[in-house]
Chains A and B, each alone.
Chain A
Amino acid sequence: MGNITLSAVTKTFGDVNVIPPLDLEINDGEFVVFVGPSGCGKSTLLRLIAGLEDISSGKITIDGRDATDAAPAERRLAMVFQSYALYPHMSVRKNIAFPLKMAKLPQAEQDRKVENAARILNLTNYLDRRPGQLSGGQRQRVAIGRAIVREPAAFLFDEPLSNLDASLRVTMRQEISELHQSLKTTMIYVTHDQVEAMTMADKIVVLNAGNIEQVGSPLELYHRPRNLFVAGFIGSPKMNFITGAEAAKHGCTTLGIRPEHIEVGGGDWEGVIGLAEHLGSDTFLKVEVAGVGNLTVRVPGERGLHHGQTIRLHAPADKLYRFGPDGLAL
């Protein structure tokens, strides 16, 4: 079981209000990702749930029990830290067994659980090494192993992949997703990388300056962003925002169109290619359109477009996002 409910939770550091009143419901077995730019309070929110920071007001309920004032250890949550936070002078085996040892489990039980976790995470051959002798990905797995053995109500991940190189990050991302499939335990995952959020999450919580901008499934956020912030944050490359006369033509303050939805050839926007990035599978174009502004266009495959060329662009009417003066979607 791993239901977590936050109601009217706030956090202030001195005079600074980091989290204004915030409500959030996390269901059992869900993979929830907190995503947002740096300093948006997502890590703070995770630490509030973990109990590493005290909330200033509000209520946290875990599995129906009020956990607002519970010590971190009593909340039955396991956390994987950005720096992994492995105990450097203990072997991998002792690292993984540490929570069990603290819970005073019998030695045989400890060994069985550690062996089991090591098998799941492919760490069996490394059990007697020190963390310093492991690679980044292996350390990450040890940190996850230390979390698994506790059989927690929920796992908390604090930007666990940000210290890994790009290819390892993709692998670990899949491993964590597979782990979630097999354990079916609630997971809360904090990241600033919207790709991680889109690929892993059942439910994404987009945070900005401590406020929840939108909660929803990845595709919901992609197709129906509630406001400008979410529209700009979800999707890569970023959505194009057009203001002024062109937006007014569509009866809105800001007009949004995703780079992948703009079609090249035909249409009523004419522009000059300022920059063409050829990735092989895609081509990203920066096009300067008179009266509209700078647009990013994503063209699938290779179309032989290059800098300085003049092209016509078409924005299909059903792919346009319209935002009002308050930034909310119309």
Chain B
Amino acid sequence: MATEHSRTAARLMVSPAVILLFLWMIVPLGMTIYFSFLRYNLLMPGMESWTGFDNYYYFLVQPAFGAALLNTLLLVGGVLLITVVGGILLALLLDQPFKGQGIVRVMVIAPFFVMPTVSALVWKNMFMNPVNGMFAHLAKTLGLQPFDFLSQAPLASIILIVAWSWLPFATLILLTALQSLDREQMEAAEMDGASWMNRFIYLTLPHLTRSITVVVLIQTIFLLSVFAEILVTTNGGPGTASTNLPYLVYQQSLLNYDVGGGSAGGIVAVILANIVAFFLMRMIGKNLES
């Protein structure tokens, strides 16, 4: 009886938090869904009217949508590739014993503490600027034509900036995983005649799969909604070359004053995120089971 009572009591006790969290999620979602079916323009307040699926139709058929969708996937994929590969390499490097290990590890995590707008501005003005940037100076020293990163390769530049701030996260998670790799297993493989490369492929990588999965899943969630870096660097341009879905939603609702269309885009983004999550879980989710 006692356990049953305490179970009921426990449910009662946690219910305020659960209800609050549920409301926190459902109210904005419900409002977004509601707005997405309205003709709702900020320039004409009070004139909202029901339009059915028109907002969705116009959001999906606009040429920018296809580009934004592709850019979103390229951005997520590109950053994941750089951070996972780079993270593994950096983690392998930091796992070697050397002097000042502690300090170096703290410094490696530093980029993660820099907020996205700041890091993007630093990259834009101090590194990638074709006149005053470090890269331009470097190119000029070597006698080359400075490269205008943000207008010539806008999406690649943004991928680079975002990857820079997420690399420490991947490195740190992979480093902790590397440190838990059994030393005797490595020695056994060494005695079994496995070269360094084979030890990496057959022991280290399988050992890291779970952490790589965690890195990929967590980063995907955040990378689908990259916004600040785009806003302060390229503004989605030139054209739609660096517009991703969140940026397109922002453009629609705040630059075009079309709240209805923006809300429809938001719902599309939510659906897209769910599709990506579904495929991710099918592909790598099994790595999380023991």
Contact = CB atoms under 8 A, between A and B. Distances in A.
Contact of B192 (A51, A52, A89, A102): A102
Given A73-B192, A150-B192, A85 B184 contact: yes
Contact of A99 (B185, B193, B203, B207): B193
Contacts of A52: 187, 190-191
B192 A146 contact: yes
Interface in A121-152: 132, 146, 150
A146 B193 CA distance: 12
A146 B191 CA distance: 11
B203 A87 contact: yes
Interface string B252-268: 00000000000000000
Contact of A72 (B190, B209, B290): B190
A317 interface: no
Contacts of B187: 52, 72, 79, 81, 85
A82 interface: yes
**Range class of the B interface residue count:** 10 to 19
Contacts of A40: none
B200 interface: no
Interface in B175-206: 182, 184-185, 187-195, 198, 202-203, 206
For B187, B190, B191, B206, which residue has the most chain A Cβ atoms within 10 angstroms? B191
Contacts of A150: 192
A83 interface: yes
B190 A87 contact: no
Contact of B198 (A78, A83, A102, A146): A102
Nearest to B209: A89
Contact of A98 (B194, B195, B207, B290): B194
For A52, A82, A90, A146, which residue has the most chain B Cβ atoms within 10 angstroms? A52
**Range class of the A interface residue count:** 20 to 34
A79 B184 CA distance: 10
A35 interface: no
Interface in B146-190: 182, 184-185, 187-190
B193 A73 contact: yes
Given A82-B184, A85-B182, A87-B202, A98 B189 contact: yes
A79 B207 contact: no
A6 interface: no
A201 interface: no
B185 A103 contact: no
A90 B184 CA distance: 16
A51 B182 CA distance: 18
Interface string A258-298: 00000000000000000000000000000000000000000
Given A87-B202, A89-B206, A98 B184 contact: no
A89 B184 contact: no
A198 interface: no
A50 interface: yes
Given A83-B184, A87-B202, A87-B203, A77 B193 contact: no
A132 B289 CA distance: 14
Contacts of A146: 188, 192
A72 B191 contact: yes
Contacts of B182: 83, 85
A82 B188 CA distance: 11
Contacts of A132: 290
For B187, B190, B202, B203, which residue has the most chain A Cβ atoms within 10 angstroms? B187
Given A79-B188, A81-B188, A83-B184, A89 B207 contact: yes
Contact of A102 (B185, B193, B206): B193
Nearest to B192: A99
A102 to B, nearest CB: 4
Interface string A177-191: 000000000000000
Nearest to B185: A85
A251 B198 CA distance: 64
Contact of A81 (B184, B193, B195, B207): B184
B284 to A, nearest CB: 15
Contacts of B190: 52, 71-73
B202 A98 contact: yes
A52 B185 CA distance: 12
Interface of A: 50-52, 71-73, 77-79, 81-83, 85-90, 98-99, 102-103, 132, 146, 150
20 contacts: A50-B191, A71-B190, A72-B191, A73-B190, A77-B191, A78-B191, A79-B187, A85-B182, A85-B185, A85-B188, A86-B185, A87-B185, A87-B188, A88-B185, A90-B206, A98-B194, A99-B192, A102-B189, A102-B193, A146-B192
The 4 tightest CB contacts between A and B, nearest first, are A73-B193, A99-B192, A85-B188, A85-B184
Given A83-B182, A87-B189, A89-B206, 15 more contacts: A72-B191, A73-B192, A79-B188, A85-B182, A85-B187, A87-B185, A87-B203, A88-B207, A89-B207, A90-B202, A98-B189, A98-B192, A98-B194, A102-B194, A150-B192
